[in-house]
């Protein structure tokens, strides 16, 4: 869908949106049954649609809100995105709720700006969640969010990227589960941030990150490499 179609369907509410997502799932399953779902990889290993039917589905199922400005509060809580969700450069003037939302082919919020509270609690990102250069002017909640890999999705394997993101309010990633690499390189946290109970299954990278407030890591689990070069903590982080 293009932006006007995405906005029009969003305005109809969660029930209508999820019915559309269910229909998109059914279309993809039909393509798979008929052996018409074709994904290939280029020389760099990047996936691309190898036939018209697959390319059409990817285009139809995409939700496109990039560079749109929401002046009113938005509520995408419980929405299911069957295809890729693009919020690149989107401006959220009021609160933005994405709690329990499901992004079944990943989502991009790079360069998005959240003027008020951003709520991604218990959201689910299959493939990837890109928030590079995103700006959070108020609180940001990713508690119990999941970033998952799935063999059926040609993906970044559950990657979370918050590289160069800016957090002006408090942030929380408590009990989040990140299957892929968690990238916080050059991110900046002006106030406190909690990673209590979070699971980093493939490593965490924070080179050049700045923590001006308290950073809490009690009960966090790291299963992979930790890249902490030139991380700046104004207050020594709280660990187990």
The reported pLDDT for the residue numbered 155 is 57
Burial group, residue 162, by CB count within 10 angstroms (0-12, 13-18, 19+): buried
Give, in order, the Cα–Cα distances in Å from 113 to each of 103, 107, 117: 19, 15, 11
Separation of alpha carbons 124 and 82, rounded Å? 12
User: Which of 33-47, 53-67, 115-129 shows the lowest mean pLDDT across its residues?
Assistant: 33-47
SS3 at position 160: strand
**For residues 158 and 70, which has the higher predicted lDDT (pLDDT)?**
70
Report the share of the chain in percent with pLDDT over 70: 97
Give, in order, the Cα–Cα distances in Å from 82 to each of 17, 29, 188: 10, 12, 32
**For residues 56 and 42, which has the higher predicted lDDT (pLDDT)?**
56
User: Which of 12-21, 24-33, 85-94, 155-164 shows the lowest mean pLDDT across its residues?
Assistant: 155-164
SS3 at position 232: strand
pLDDT tens track for 152-162: 665 567 899 99
pLDDT tens track for 189-206: 999 999 999 999 988 999
Region 104-112: mean pLDDT is 95
The reported pLDDT for the residue numbered 158 is 84
Strand partners, 64: 86
Domain residue ranges in the chain = 62-233
Report the share of the chain in percent with pLDDT over 90: 81
Q: What pTM, to 2 d.p., does this model score?
A: 0.93
The reported pLDDT for the residue numbered 237 is 85
125: confidence class by pLDDT, cuts 50, 70, 90: very high
- Checking if the pLDDT of 33 tops 60, the result is yes
Dihedral through CA 177, CA 183, CA 185, CA 189, nearest 10?
A: -30
The reported pLDDT for the residue numbered 225 is 84
Is the CB of residue 68 less than 8 Å from the CB of residue 90? yes
Angle at 142 between CA 141 and CA 147, to 5 degrees: 165
3: confidence class by pLDDT, cuts 50, 70, 90: very high
pLDDT tens track for 207-226: 999 999 999 999 999 888 88
């Amino acid at each position: 869908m293009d932006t006007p179609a995405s906005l029009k369907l969003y305005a109809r509410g969660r029930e209508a949106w999820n019915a559309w997502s269910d229909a998109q799932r059914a279309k993809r399953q039909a393509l798979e049954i008929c052996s018409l779902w074709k994904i290939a990889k280029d020389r760099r290993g990047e996936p691309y649609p190898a036939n018209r039917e697959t390319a059409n589905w990817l285009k139809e199922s995409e939700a496109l809100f990039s560079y749109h400005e929401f002046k009113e509060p938005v509520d995408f809580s419980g929405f299911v995105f069957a295809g890729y969700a693009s919020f690149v450069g989107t401006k959220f003037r009021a609160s933005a709720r994405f709690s329990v939302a499901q992004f079944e082919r990943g989502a991009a919020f790079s360069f998005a700006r959240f003027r008020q509270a951003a709520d991604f609690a218990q959201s689910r990102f299959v493939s990837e969640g890109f928030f590079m250069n995103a700006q959070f002017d108020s609180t940001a909640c990713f508690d119990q969010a999941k970033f998952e890999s799935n063999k059926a999705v040609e993906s970044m394997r559950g990657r979370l990227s918050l590289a160069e993101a800016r957090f002006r309010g408090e942030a929380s990633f408590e009990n989040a589960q990140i299957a892929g690499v968690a990238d916080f390189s050059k991110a900046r946290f002006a106030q406190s941030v909690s990673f209590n109970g979070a699971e980093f299954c493939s490593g965490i990278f924070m080179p050049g990150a700045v923590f001006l407030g308290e950073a809490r890591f009690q009960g966090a689990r790291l299963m992979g490499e930790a890249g902490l070069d030139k991380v700046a903590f104004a207050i020594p982080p709280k660990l187990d």
